[in-house]
Structure 1
Amino acid sequence: MDKIIEELPAKAKEKWVENKKYFTKLKRKQRKRLDYMMNEIHEEEFEHTDCLDCANCCKTTSPIFTEKDISRISKYLKMKEGQFVNQYLQRDEDDFMVLKSVPCTFLDKDNSCVIYDIRPKACSEYPHTNRKKFIQLTDLTLKNTEICPAVFNMVETLKSKLPL
């Protein structure tokens, strides 16, 4: 898995223009069954992909923490919200609350999440490939092809199942 993760940014960069053009065409066509198809591709991919083997998302990026996330997690950690924010979070250039550092503070040595049951909403929804209105998330999906091998594979599968 380490080799796949190491090669992923270059592979994603190599496919970036092709994928960008694909998603641009896809947006113009407004495929009615796209959400259903992406959900199917997502389920198929995660039948043989185990995030605990990779955890590259947790090692290289930060989720956005909503106010609800901050409240829930700080309560779980028996901390005041302000203390939690000061210790773990900062505002990014888009004014979102994100982790001060990566890898994620809550990532354990075995790639498990020590706050998994109460993790941020962004983590529970990652990689966002099975969400409704997928067409609105193509820029994020394109970015995630550089981070998540499963997303890279799903985009390649989508292009083969739905050529434009």
Structure 2
Amino acid sequence: MAKDILHNWEKKSKEHRKQYQQFLKKADKNKTLKRLPVLHDEAFENVNCLECANCCKNYSPRFKTPDVKRISKYLGMKESAFIDTYLRVDEDGDFVVKTSPCPFLNNDNSCHIYEQRPSDCARFPYTDEDVFIKRQTLTLKNSEFCPITYYVLEKLLEG
């Protein structure tokens, strides 16, 4: 059943974008938030992130100050050297990686700094928190490159 939902998901996510948008606008927030943890866990049981890594290959998390401090310490670098080597400031004023794919992405799609990764990475794709409903534009964008977000939206549409 789950494999059927995920079959050709990239194409279907684009085709269903309007449905997702309508659902997110009209959804009963509390009812939806109650369903998210179960759907989130179910999606992660059916999708292996190490087979995908689209998020790491094409996008950057925000590196907040605690992330910069923790990761630079882990790598044995001064914070300024870490920033100079790996990060840039984006149009929103946030630190993001300079290059895609992420410089910490290994050849097997694992993360070199996984235990110390930025909080954005640890929380991604936000399918078990209110960001999913509150930041609808982000959820819609994520549905086009993240099979987990797609899966959760499809399950929500099923009712």
Structure 1 gap ranges (5+): none
Cα 1:6–1:49 change in 2 (3 A) is: closer
Identity %: 42
Name which of structure 1's ranges 44-53 and 104-113 shifts more when overlaid on structure 2.
44-53
- Structure 2 residue aligned with 1:69: 67
TM-score, scaled to structure 1: 0.87
* 1:14 Cα deviation from its structure 2 partner: 2.1
- Structure 2 residue aligned with 1:23: 24
Cα 1:22–1:7 change in 2 (3 A) is: closer
1:48 and 2:49 matched? no
- Structure 2 residue aligned with 1:95: 93
Q: Please list, as runs of the form range in 1=range in 2, the aligned pairs for 1:70-85 lying within 5 A after superposition.
A: 70-85=68-83
* 1:137 Cα deviation from its structure 2 partner: 3.0
Cα 1:48–1:40 change in 2 (3 A) is: same
Counterparts of 1:132 and 1:119 in 2: how far apart (Å)?
Answer: 21
2:9 touches 2:147 (CA, 8 Å); kept in 1?
no
Q: Please list, as runs of the form range in 1=range in 2, the aligned pairs for 1:1-164 lying within 5 A after superposition.
A: 8=10, 10-26=11-27, 30-132=28-130, 134-161=132-159
After superposition, the C-alpha distances for 1:120-147 in whole angstroms (9 at most, x for unaligned) are 0000001101114642133211110111
1:106 touches 1:113 (CA, 8 Å); kept in 2?
yes
* 1:83 Cα deviation from its structure 2 partner: 0.7
- The alignment partner of 2:16 has SS state of helix
- Structure 1 residue aligned with 2:3: none
After superposition, the C-alpha distances for 1:22-58 in whole angstroms (9 at most, x for unaligned) are 21112xxx43232220111111111121111111111
TM-score, scaled to structure 2: 0.89
Structure 2 gap ranges (5+): 1-5
After superposition, the C-alpha distances for 1:89-137 in whole angstroms (9 at most, x for unaligned) are 0111111110001101000011100100000000000110111464213
The letter for the 1-side match of 2:136 is T
Instruction: Give the number of equivalent residue pairs.
Output: 154
